Chain A
């Protein structure tokens, strides 16, 4: 297939009719929070712009982002991954491997210098010269830097690439480092989640295609359209939270009735993602709807904010794992003991200095 074919060409070749095509464009506009007046712009971009070449690298990761991506709800959305973006290099999906595939990567980097998108799934281990993730005889860290040098933009797929995820949870033995700490001179978007929601992933690509730039990002470089609200604020169980009606154990009556999972460790109140609106698997459900507390998988360091099933996170404290209240009670106890000891000291000192003190009334 020619590299400069447009999306429309591909869709026509695949027998997608105009009606479905327009439906897809409208859906994307809704996900991205655009007004309906922007739909024609998306349509036009899809019809006229050549496909963007994408190099999709896999570092330390589990491929759950790819798995999520190919389960996009809309049929055309699913097409994106295999046809619409010119996915020229993806070592998981490619038939070729080894030197052949690396040659393709080098060729894209040369032919489309400054025009291709670098999509990274997973992160790079930086300890010991990056030996913990080797690709074709070189470290993934080097490969990442080399490929990023001529990229138009970088997409960090998933929590691994965005924040580090399980690989850089304490004690982070391989020195796993999120992409934004290694690539600083390119426009970069973080699409966290373990995995991210498929529609969120395609939404980001559609935006990139339509406007030729990254969507509006927040402080953590996440697209505002999808990571702009807490799961908690749009959770359908929120009334139970406000009322103080909580599930206390997974097999109690409250769990059965679908009350709030806050006391079961739900991280919804501290997690920014679109789960409670876009949902998963064609809008079927999301963890809280299925009766499981949110783990906060799209938040930085969520593995280190455990345990998953308690509200209060454990904190390293004098070599133990205690929660905030244990630390506080120990501190207050220590202060009280210290003051009691000091009081005894004061009494002894007063006795020594002035044995008559206690007998001298003020009256």
Chain B
């Protein structure tokens, strides 16, 4: 049972590249975002025009944001049109009661220690897929829309503002939107805790090399997948 019986190529290169670019961007975005809200470094002393301390943090924030956005769009493209069994979103159908049925229940019960069996999936299990959808997909869409709306504010009537300025109306004012953008940013560190824990736990329980799989792309099958 504990012998490696099969090597499985699960995460194709585009998925792995997306994963790490996304992780890096989120890290940069989160740190610079916190700094923009509370610039804690002591000021440079001299003529203001020569120093760009705050400007640099904002520059990195916006720069990473656009890479993050491009990467996100690429991942959506890959999810919908990529020739990738595990990277596609085809199996994720939260609108269908069938999706919430047996596999989801069993996985959830297993996580909650109600059931002893540990289902083993090659790709994402249904609970993981739902978590990714809520935290990463919804979280990213939210941050992108509010982010672009704020970004457009320096030039009302310009390209970004015309396309995304309406988002401000949902929150009433620009300041409220800034606040909510800041609150929702914390979704990512919360997700990081869940994600790292789940990965390490699965690696220990399933022994599927899930941790290194996001670098190599390969998982190791130690028993039959209940697909």
What residues of chain A have their CB less than 8 Å away from a CB belonging to chain B? 218-220, 224, 228-230, 233, 239-246, 254, 259, 262-263, 267, 270-272, 296, 299-302, 304-305, 311-313, 315, 324-325, 327-329, 331-332, 335-336, 339, 342-343, 345-346, 349-350, 353, 360, 362
Contact = CB atoms under 8 A, between A and B. Distances in A.
25 contacts: A218-B156, A219-B166, A224-B157, A228-B156, A233-B154, A239-B48, A244-B41, A245-B51, A246-B39, A262-B39, A263-B38, A296-B173, A301-B173, A312-B37, A313-B175, A315-B183, A324-B185, A324-B186, A325-B34, A325-B38, A327-B186, A336-B193, A346-B201, A349-B116, A362-B207
Nearest to B183: A324
- Chain B interface secondary structure, helix, strand, loop or mixed? helix
B197 interface: yes
B19 interface: no
B159 interface: no
B2 interface: yes
Interface stretch (B52-60, B85-93, B120-128): B52-60
Contacts of B185: 324, 328
Nearest to B35: A244
Contacts of B51: 242-245
A262 B43 CA distance: 13
Contacts of B225: none
Interface of B: 2, 34, 37-39, 41, 43-44, 48-55, 111, 113, 116, 153-154, 156-157, 165-166, 168-169, 172-176, 178-179, 182-183, 185-186, 189-190, 193-194, 197, 201, 204-205, 207
- Chain A interface secondary structure, helix, strand, loop or mixed? helix
Contacts of A327: 183, 186
Given A218-B156, A353-B116, A362-B2, A244 B39 contact: yes
Contacts of B49: 239, 243
A343 B201 contact: yes
Given A219-B166, A339-B194, A339-B197, A245 B174 contact: no
B52 A332 contact: no
Nearest to B178: A270
B193 A324 contact: no
B190 A270 contact: no
A276 to B, nearest CB: 14
A141 B66 CA distance: 48
Given A239-B48, A241-B54, A311-B38, A339 B193 contact: yes
B181 to A, nearest CB: 9
In this complex, the member of A270, A271, A299, A301 whose beta carbon has the largest number of chain B beta carbons within 10 angstroms is A270
In this complex, the member of A230, A243, A267, A304 whose beta carbon has the largest number of chain B beta carbons within 10 angstroms is A243
A228 B157 CA distance: 9
Contacts of A325: 34, 37-38, 182, 186
Given A300-B172, A346-B201, 8 more contacts: A242-B54, A244-B55, A262-B39, A311-B37, A328-B186, A335-B190, A342-B201, A349-B113
A332 B190 contact: yes
A265 B153 CA distance: 19
Contacts of B189: 328, 332
Contacts of A360: 2
A230 B54 contact: no
B174 A299 contact: yes
Contacts of A239: 48-49
A304 to B, nearest CB: 8
B179 A305 contact: yes
A178 to B, nearest CB: 11
Contacts of A267: 175
In this complex, the member of A218, A242, A262 whose beta carbon has the largest number of chain B beta carbons within 10 angstroms is A242
Nearest to A334: B190
Contacts of A245: 43-44, 48, 51
Nearest to A340: B197
Nearest to A362: B2
B193 A332 contact: yes
B199 to A, nearest CB: 11
Contacts of B169: 219-220
Nearest to B187: A331
B214 to A, nearest CB: 19
A302 B34 contact: no
A244 B44 CA distance: 7
A33 B53 CA distance: 34
B197 A343 contact: yes
A263 B173 CA distance: 20
A243 B116 contact: no
A305 B205 CA distance: 47
A246 B42 CA distance: 9
A228 B111 CA distance: 53
A263 B52 contact: no
